[in-house]
Structure 1
Amino acid sequence: MRTHLTRTVALVLFAVVGCGSETAGGAGGHSPAPDPAPHTKERAGQVAEAWDGSAAADAYSKGYYPMQGPVQRPEGGWRDAEDEEAYATQNFALSAELPKTHKGGKVTWQSGETLTLDLMGAREAYETLARNSGEGPRLTVTGAELGEMTQATSRGPATVPAWLFTLEGYDTPLKRVAIGPSKVPKPPIGPAAQGVSADLWNLGGVVEVAGNGRSVTVVAHHGACDDGPAVDVLETDGSVVLSGYMVGTDDGLCQDSLHAQEKTVELDRPVGDRVLLDAFTGRPLGPARH
């Protein structure tokens, strides 16, 4: 059964490292880890075969690729709806002089491996948070210092440098990662050709990797006249390939739009340092945007 959603919409929504769906709404779902469905298995196998043991996989295994967003809110979250609105609308005010740029920042993994990357200045980090200075509720930054935070990455948890912004009315800081991800190596396989599967769609990014690495929550897409999204998984020694597709598509006319829904996939073993891949795009998955 074919969906009539426009394929070019999916091409615009490619999930790449550092990029994902801006809407992760909808009720969450849970997908067990069966063998991939017949219509996703061939493509997933092609992606795994292309990546496993490739130069791209080797380069990816040495880089810094976050699996969660770069911001951590103050402990306990926002104190009221106005502050939550201010953060959502990126409405900030600055009442302090920000520190000057420091030199390189070091990423440290639990294994002891490290990687030094260019450090983002405090002003640049602030400007990624504060894109609005209009009317309405605001969060006021009263100071900043360089510190650290823990972040999930493609190589497991890591300690990364972060700018700690002091907010008026809060005892704990708003943290923003002070480095950017490594450049993604050129994938050894291209996107799925149109017609490979009527229902195979790209994923919108990673929402969460469980602390034990045994499950992954991603943003999956579906249309206006189907039964929702599903995600199949193909695990190999070098990769975890996730295939997003639509369930219950009909031959009737569909609205040319996509809906997004979180889906959790259980794995046979922890992700570890395996590459987490999107079957449709053939690229590594990065964090979903919220």
Structure 2
Amino acid sequence: MTSGTDPRIWLLDLERLRPALERAEQRLGLLAADERDDGAMGSGVSGRNRRAVRIALRLLLLREGVGEAALGPLARGPTGKPSLADTGIEFSVSHAGQNALIALSGNGPVGVDLECWRTVHIHEPRRSQIAAAAAAIARRAEDGRPTPGELDRAQLLSAWTRLEAWAKARGSGIGVLLTDLGLLGPGSRRVSPEAAAESARRLVALEGVAVADLCLPIGLFGAVAARAGALLASPAVADLTEEDWPEAPNDARCR
């Protein structure tokens, strides 16, 4: 495995990288058989983006030195979380418009989430509950709790990415996490922001997970969740370039 900080996180500009990624796929045959079929990952721009991210993921796994296992079919656990057998590496991906994040970890589960500037259709009281829970778990926590009127779009997007990243790391999905926090289901509307924050602090400590914001270009919001002992307060994010993947790995299955 490549040495360095764990988890390792890359930001992808899909519009710029897609042609080079497709050339790598044509040369090396990186995708599994069921991923190469027309429409296997959806149609239109979103389908092309998912395909590009999958190619990039397999290139990065090859660079980790896991050999042919990087090219195998994805398996999905009971909650739908994807994995690759026999690699010893956990991964997480997230898409937002023409950008994506990929995270790799050799030190336990990892989750990333990426959001672009958009309208968030979350209303009170859940809006304040989510903001309070997310502020309670973030390595870059805010000072104080914002009032509902101060919860602007950027703050809420950042809060949402923290909870989504945590949900991905635990493999449960956001709905299950919100339920476990008492923010979804019977009686959830009566939960105060203070109670939501305390519930989040207890659960994240119990699960041994840390969550940190990511420093991203303006208009993008992201967070990563990983094992508490492995995560830096401000994890580095690298821009993925062609220099980050091998030219012709010996164990890639060329067409």
TM-score over 0.5 for the alignment? no
Higher RCO (C-alpha under 8 Å, 6+ residues apart):
1
TM-score, reference length from structure 2: 0.29
Structure with more strand by fraction: 1
Between Structure 1 and Structure 2, the one with more helix by share is 2
Superposition TM-score, scaled by structure 1 size? 0.27
